[in-house]
Structure 1
Amino acid sequence: MSRNYKWHVVVMLWFICFFNYADRQAISAVFPVLQKEFGFDKLQLGLIGSAFMWVYAAGAPLAGFIGDRVRRKDLILGGCVFWSFVTVTTGWCGKLWHFVTVRALEGFGETFYFPASMSLVSDYHDKTTRSRAMAAHQSSVYAGTVLGSWIGAALAERFGWRSGFYLFGGLGLVLALVLYKLLREPKRGESERNPNEVAPEVALPLGETLRAIFRTPVVPLLMLAFLGANFVATIFLTWTPTFLVEKFGFKLAAAGLSGAAFIHLASAVSVPLAGLMADRLSQKRRGGRILVQAAGLLLGAGFVWGIGHATTTPLVIGAMTAFGLCKGLYDSGIFASLYDSIEPRARGTAAGIMNTVGWGGGALGPLFIGWASKNGAGTEIENMSNAIGLGALAYVVAAVLLVIAAKKASQR
């Protein structure tokens, strides 16, 4: 294996994660079309958006537990085949329960990806490059979100809403087959040990795994902060295109592109810089990565409020861009900060539990917006605007939790 192979791994996983997010985001981009064609109201659309997240969250601990015991390469590529096929079947849907079912199945397939992939990356990259590697990988989340939303909406306008699901699902199936011979499985803890050490290959029992995860209060604090950050993130992933169409008069394709591009391209710019900053700060003090994340959430809270209350297109675009820059600071350390407190043989399970907490709670975000839009005192779009602005509170609470976690980490 070449010395650069650890970065080749990041590139390969980048493309898998791209389709992971493009597949899940394509549905939100066509919400206005589904609303018109099938008569779905906002609460029903929120249910479609949340069905993915609930199953994704519920299956994550099992996915992580399995990922600590079998070849992660098989889970990553097998999951890609499964969720890509389910993406194709989304184009066959015609009723509400069809959409809810396929989104739930998509969540089940995709829940295996992050616990396995982040554990695998951590075995190629030690603490000196881990934030940068995971930040580089994180950029695929933004690319998949932007292009999944834009291409899904553009294809819906020209060829019908089903075409985007056929495209993304088909390409994902091809990618999994191509990478099967290129992606290699490292030993557990390979990046943590000296060349002459023998890594323990025996998996930890469940009890010892849980003790390894929760032996410090830093871990639950990180997980609760992830919940708060995801509550806001899922709102924007699900509702931004609809928000731009109804409040600012965007066309569907423009809303699909703008709703993702300004936030996530800004995050793509800031996340590698944040990863570099976090790697360097972590060498100087314990909890350094966490402080970078806390700064992102605290700064971002004001821009979340600004998006909800913007009255003109330039204002909302400016607020979305600034929010995206702040979001990148947080995203750079989601798993790198966690793994500073977790031994290699428990990292898959830790990531799975973190996804359960973050996405299980975060799944309430789209439903909250759908419910608030129908039940507030103003018009639907006025109610939606106010509800989006309230997301700033979740960011502030999450930032406080991270500051506490950083202090606890520095005392260890």
Structure 2
Amino acid sequence: MPAAPATALDTPIVEDARSSSYRWWLIAMLWCVCFCNYADRQAISSIFPLLRSDLSLSDLQLGIIASSFMWMYAVAGPVAGWLSDRVSPRTVILGALIFWSAVTAGTAISHDFGMMVFFRTLGGLGEAFYFPAAMALIGLYHSAATRSRAMALHQSSVYAGTIGGGALSATIAQSHGWRSSFVVFGVAGVLLGLVLFLLLRRPPARALATETTTDQNFLHGVRDTLRSGRVVTLIGVFIGANFVAVVFLTWLPTYLFTKFHLSLARAGFSSTAYLQMASVTGVLLGGVLADKFAVRRVGGRQMIQAFGLLMGVPFIFLTGWSLSMAGLIVGMIGFGFFKGMYDANIWASLYDVIPVERRGVAAGTMNSLGWLGGGFAPILIAAAAGRFGMSVCLSATSAIYLGLGVVLLVLVRNLRRSAPKLAA
């Protein structure tokens, strides 16, 4: 199936006066759900030192616990995306939120390595259904003219949730034990789900009907998605970028706790706050610039992504190589800012090259493969750090960003060369 030109995707399916203001309220509500999504998954990384001592776990076992979430997340991703094209995204979002929040609270009863893996795997299953459904719902209300900004605002919740999960879980665990942090996050998510059951609208039946006029077969949807070389390229770049992100999300708190001798709470905060707060600025700027560039030139969104990846290279290197907290903070801020510019357009860039009826399965497939690749990061880095040291491993990931930036520049060139053919 050839990729559809961006102009075919410029009109939102839900378009009336009543939805004009609601489309931004929708982003606000989904922002809260995504905050919980990332807070719940990040909460565990900040308490690795406590889990290591309380449950007598090795670094390799901690890496497996982190990876078990991502692997299940990856396996369930395509199915979640396909379901989001078949069922009301509202139903999928609310069901997923309540399920993964209940599982998060249940993690508190874990008493050994096996139980931790079990609950983290279930958490990955629940969270896998959120992003494809959320992207599909945003796509119903936002055209290409506002898509990057809408998705960038939504993406900012990823960073806020990462900060909240990392800092709050460490603070709660330091004062009340690590089990309490899981209970707090889980109960908060269930309560949010009940509130949004009353506030989140069902999309009009005509919008859902338009979304479901395509082939109902799941495997056909995945196959057709992967037939496009442009989609495969964007997925490949996402896999690499996600690998780097997972390395820092998983091991940076422990790295600060061990190398710079910070307290558990301060390590949890510092490992997320500087990087993620800078990402908020980068993602908002990246969204605005991408919407403007996409209107003026073919490949505008992908160009912004390439810029973010390439400019992030020296800051990633500095983050791992710095011998002082001041240098580390500079590295994290720079890395976070330019990472945000890439992140702002992950899904908007995909939607530029995929037909509207395949958005859910395309987002699910991309999310799945991205986290499948990222799922190996905790284990590989744990093994490599034992030989080369964590500092070297963190700095080495800058080479991945460099390669990915070059790949996106090649994609932009190919998009511009084929633009006249698409117009014809």
**TM-score by structure 1 length?**
0.94
Matches within 5 A, 1:11-410: 11-186=28-203, 199=210, 201-206=212-217, 209-210=221-222, 212-376=224-388, 383-410=389-416
CA contact (8 A) 2:240 2:401 kept: yes
Q: Where does structure 1 lack aligned partners over 5 or more consecutive residues?
A: 192-197, 377-382
The offset of 1:401, in angstroms, is 1.9
Paired letter, 1:386? V
Q: Deviations over 1:226-272 (max 9, x none)?
A: 00100100011111110101111111100100100000000011211
| Divergent runs of 4+, >6 A | none
Give the Cα–Cα distance (whole angstroms) in 2 for the partners of residues 359 and 324 of structure 1.
Answer: 19
C-alpha distance in structure 2 between counterparts of 1:70 and 1:188, whole Å: 11
Residue type of the alignment partner of 1:318: V
Question: Residues 224 and 401 of structure 1 are in contact (CA less than 8 Å); yes or no, is this contact kept in structure 2?
Answer: no
In structure 2, what is the Cα distance between the partners aligned to 1:188 and 1:30?
A: 45
Is the CA contact 1:299–1:326 (under 8 Å) kept in the aligned structure 2? yes
Q: In the TM superposition, what is the alpha-carbon distance from 1:202 to its structure 2 partner?
A: 2.0
Gaps of 5+ in 2: 1-17, 420-424
Is this contact kept in 1: 2:72–2:125, CA < 8 A? yes
Residue 210 of structure 1 deviates from its aligned partner by 4.2
Measure, in 2, the Cα distance between the counterparts of 1:285 and 1:390. 34
Mapped to 1, the partners of 2:402 and 2:377 lie a distance apart of: 16
Looking at structure 2, the residues matched to 276 and 204 of structure 1 have their Cα atoms a distance apart, in angstroms, of 34
Quick one: which amino acid aligns to residue 56 of structure 2? G
Distance in 2 (CA, whole Å) between partners of 1:200 and 1:171 is 32
Residues 24 and 260 (structure 1), Cα distance of their counterparts in 2 relative to 1, 3 Å cut: same
Q: Give the secondary structure class of the aligned counterpart of 1:263.
A: helix
Structure 1: how far apart are the matches of 2:382 and 2:204? 46
Q: CA deviation at 1:216?
A: 3.2
Match of 1:194 in 2: none
Whole-Å Cα distance in 2 between the matches of residues 294 and 301 of structure 1? 11
**CA distance in 2 between partners of 1:188 and 1:254 (Å):** 49
Which letter does structure 2 place at the counterpart of 1:263?
Answer: L
Q: Deviations over 1:99-120 (max 9, x none)?
A: 1111110000000000110011
Q: 182-191 vs 115-124, which deviates more?
A: 182-191
SS in 1 for 2:203: coil
| C-alpha RMSD over aligned residues | 1.7
SS in 1 for 2:44: helix
Q: Is the 8 A contact 2:67 2:378 kept in 1?
A: yes
Letter in 2 for 1:361: G
How far apart are residue 273 of structure 1 and its match?
A: 1.1
Letter of the 2:233 counterpart: L
Counterpart contact for 1:212–1:343, Cα < 8 Å? no
Q: Which TM-score applies when normalising by structure 2?
A: 0.91
